[in-house]
Amino acid sequence: MTTGFVFHELYLWHNTWNWAQVFPPSLTVQPGTHAENPETKRRLRNLLEVSGILEHLVTIKPRKATVEEVGQVHTPAHIAKIKEISDRGYGDASTLTPLGAGSYEIALLAAGGAIEAMDAVVKGTVQNAYALIRPPGHHAAADVGMGFCLFANAAIAIKHAQTQLGIGRIATVDWDVHHGNGTQSIFYSDPSVLTISLHQDNLFPLDSGAMSENGESEGKGFNINVPLPPGSGPGAYTLAFEKVVIPALRQFKPELIVVPCGFDASGVDPMGRMMMNSSGYRHLTRMLLKAADELCSGRLLMTHEGGYSEMYVPYCGLAVVEELCGHRTDVTDPWDDIMGTWGAMPVQPHQAAIIDEAAKLLNNIR
C-alpha cells in the first residue's frame, strides 16, 4: 500500500494565543495555553519521523486553496471575515476560536493540503492519505468558523473531488470526540455525501449531533449520528462500526471514504470523556480499510481534526498511519496495555442500546 502524507511547518504557526484552554485571559482567568495549540500536531509529526514510518510515506506537498475552492463550501462573507481578522492580527472567528496574523493564509494551506491529498488518492498516485493539517475543519459551517475550525477542510476536498475529479458518492466517518456539525450542515440536504459522526453525546457543540438529525429534503437519511455515552471505549466504538458504520457504507456504496480524524476520544484527552486507546484506533482503521477495499478500491483520506493530549495523540496517530501504509514500526505505545486493563473497555449494555438505536437509521438510507 502507498500512503500519502501532508504536512507543512506553517500549520504549526497558526496562533491561538495565550487563552486558558478555551477561555480568553481576564482578571479571573489566568493566561495559559489554548487547547488547540501546535504541540499535539508537532509531536505526532515528530513520532512519525522518529519511528521511521515517514520513510514509508509519500510526501504530498500542500498548496494554498484558492478563494474559489474554499467558496464551494463557504460564503464570501465568512471568507472575508477570516481574512479581515487575520490581516488585523487578532480576533475570534466566533467563540472559542481565536486566530492571529497569517491564520487566513495558513487555513487556506490546510484546505489546500486536503485538496492535494484528495487529488493524489483519486488519481491513484497513492492508495490512501493522511493530511496532518491545522487549523482543523469539521466544526466550520458555510457561514461561520467555530470550535477551533476556520475552513471546512474535509468538505472543501470533497467538493473538489466532485466538481473537478469526477467522483460522485463520498462517505465521511468522523470519529473525533466532538460532533462533526460543520460537515453535517454542509451536506445536510445532499444525498451524494453520506455523513456519519460518532461522538460523545452532547459534548460540543451543545444541542448538536442527536440521532434525530438525519438529513433533510433530498439528503434525508444520509446523515447518521451515533451519540455515544461518556466512558465509551474500544468495545463501544467497534460495535458501532460493526452495527452502524460498516453496514451504512455497504448500503451507500461510496466511491471514496473521508475520515475527519480526531484523537480526542482517547482515555487521557483533556477535552473528552471517552476511553479509546491506540489499539482501538488501529482496529477501527483496519475495519475501514477493509470496507474501502471492498467498496471503493481502497480509496481513503484522513484529515486531522482534534486531539489534545500532548503525550498521547502521537501514539494514536502512529497506530493509524501504520495501518494505512501496512508497515508496523517497533514503537510501543506506553499507555496501551495500561489503558487496556481499565474497567468498562468492552462495550457496556447502555452503550450497546444506543448503538442498536442508531442501527435503525440504516433503514433510511435509500
Active site residues: 139
Q: Specify the residue, 3 or 277, whose C-beta has the smaller distance to Zn ion.
A: 277
Size of the site for Zn ion (CB under 5 A): 5
CA distances to 26, 251, 319 from 363, in Å:
50, 10, 33
Query: Is 98 an interacting residue with respect to Zn ion (CB under 5 A)?
Result: no
Query: Is 306 an interacting residue with respect to Zn ion (CB under 5 A)?
Result: yes
Query: Is 182 an interacting residue with respect to Zn ion (CB under 5 A)?
Result: no
Q: How far is the CB of 269 from Zn ion (least distance, A)?
A: 9
Q: How far is the CB of 306 from Zn ion (least distance, A)?
A: 3
Q: How far is the CB of 11 from Zn ion (least distance, A)?
A: 17
Q: How far is the CB of 199 from Zn ion (least distance, A)?
A: 8
Site string for Zn ion, 194-233 (x = CB under 5 A): ----------------------------------------
Query: Is 178 an interacting residue with respect to Zn ion (CB under 5 A)?
Result: yes
DSSP per residue, 95-160:
SS-EEETTHHHHHHHHHHHHHHHHHHHHHTSSSEEEE--SS--TT-BTTB-BTTBSS-HHHHHHHH
Grid cell listed for 256:
471514496
Grid cell listed for 228:
455515544
Grid cell listed for 201:
453525546
Question: Coil, strand, or helix at residue 141?
Answer: strand
Site string for Zn ion, 134-173 (x = CB under 5 A): ----------------------------------------
Site string for Zn ion, 243-282 (x = CB under 5 A): -------------------x-x------------------
- Of 139, 161, 166, nearest to 150 by C-alpha is 139
Greatest CA separation for the chain: 57
Query: In the set 69, 119, 174, 176, which binds Zn ion (CB under 5 A)?
Result: 176
Q: Taking the mean position of all CA atoms in its chain, how far away is CA 70? A: 18
Grid cell listed for 26:
481576564
- Beta pairing class for 128-131 and 3-6: parallel
Q: Specify the residue, 96 or 170, whose C-beta has the smaller distance to Zn ion.
A: 96
Cβ–Cβ < 8 Å for 302, 259: yes
Q: How far is the CB of 102 from Zn ion (least distance, A)?
A: 23
Q: What share of the chain is helix, strand, coil (3-state, %, to 5)?
A: 40, 15, 40
Residues making contact with Zn ion (CB under 5 A):
176, 178, 262, 264, 306
